[in-house]
């Protein structure tokens, strides 16, 4: 008997959790909520305006890719690595003071991203994509071969014909409504 990896949560629930997690990263990329700085990785090689745009576009692309579920394992690993390295760089290397609580918060989000595919077996991992999943027809195999046989009606029996009842036979169920 096959054990369900996450009893009580079906594929739709897992997809919804992944989409909600991805929308948080989209909100960070669009600066709608406070979070880590995605531009910190690009600041050594690009000017501040371009590094901000490159970081936001990278995080937005990774978040959308993660939400769609296409190549979920690679998308989750890429998003988690980007978030973890950006958070570590902004909280421990660039920042004048170490902010362990912000890093811990981002590390927890990375663990949630990784758990989005770790609980899925191979069959469910293939079905995780929101857009490209198509239901497939499965073939049912018979336990034993069935021999078809011809069935013909008896010569004595004639098909019965239903006739419409006469007015006297009809009962009007609404006759005594007016009382």
- Residue 179: is its pLDDT beyond 60? no
pLDDT for position 1 = 45
Per-residue pLDDT of 87-141, as tens digits, reads: 999 888 887 788 788 889 999 999 989 888 887 777 777 767 766 555 566 677 7
Per residue in 1-37, pLDDT tens?
455 555 556 777 788 888 899 999 999 999 999 888 8
**In this structure, is residue 90 part of a structural domain?**
yes
Cα–Cα dist 8/171, whole Å: 53
Question: Model confidence over 133-170: pLDDT tens digits?
Answer: 555 666 777 677 778 888 777 767 666 676 776 766 66
By CB atoms closer than 10 A (0-12, 13-18, 19+), residue 64 is middle
Between 53 and 168, the higher pLDDT residue: 53
pLDDT at site 123: 73
Which residues constitute the domain of residue 72?
11-126
Strand locations in the chain (E): none
pLDDT on residue 161: 72
Contacts for 92 with CB less than 8 Å, ≥ 6 apart: 98, 103
Is 93 inside a domain boundary? yes
Average pLDDT of span 59-81: 90
Q: Is residue 166 part of a domain?
A: no
Cβ atoms within 10 Å of 53's Cβ, excluding its own:
13
For the cut 50, the answer to whether the pLDDT of residue 171 exceeds it is: yes
Overall number of domains in the chain: 1
Is 80 within 8 Å of 87 (Cβ atoms)? no
> pLDDT value at position 2?
53
């Amino acid at each position: 008997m096959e054990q369900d990896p996450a009893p009580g949560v079906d594929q739709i629930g897992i997809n919804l959790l992944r989409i909600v997690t991805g929308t948080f990263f989209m909100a960070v990329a669009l600066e709608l909520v406070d979070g880590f700085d995605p531009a910190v990785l690009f600041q050594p090689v690009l000017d501040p305006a371009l590094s901000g745009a490159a970081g936001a576009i990278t995080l937005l692309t990774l978040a959308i890719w993660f939400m769609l579920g296409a190549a979920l394992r690679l998308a989750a690993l890429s998003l988690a690595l980007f978030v973890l390295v950006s958070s570590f760089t902004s909280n421990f290397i660039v920042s004048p003071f170490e902010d362990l609580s912000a890093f811990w918060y981002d590390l927890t989000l990375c663990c949630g991203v990784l758990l989005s595919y770790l609980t899925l077996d191979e069959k469910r991992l293939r079905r995780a994509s929101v857009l490209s999943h198509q239901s497939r027809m499965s073939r049912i195999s018979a336990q034993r071969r069935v021999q078809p046989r011809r069935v013909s009606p008896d010569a004595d029996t004639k098909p019965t014909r239903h006739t419409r009842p006469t007015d006297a036979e009809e009962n009007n169920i609404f006759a005594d409504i007016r009382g």
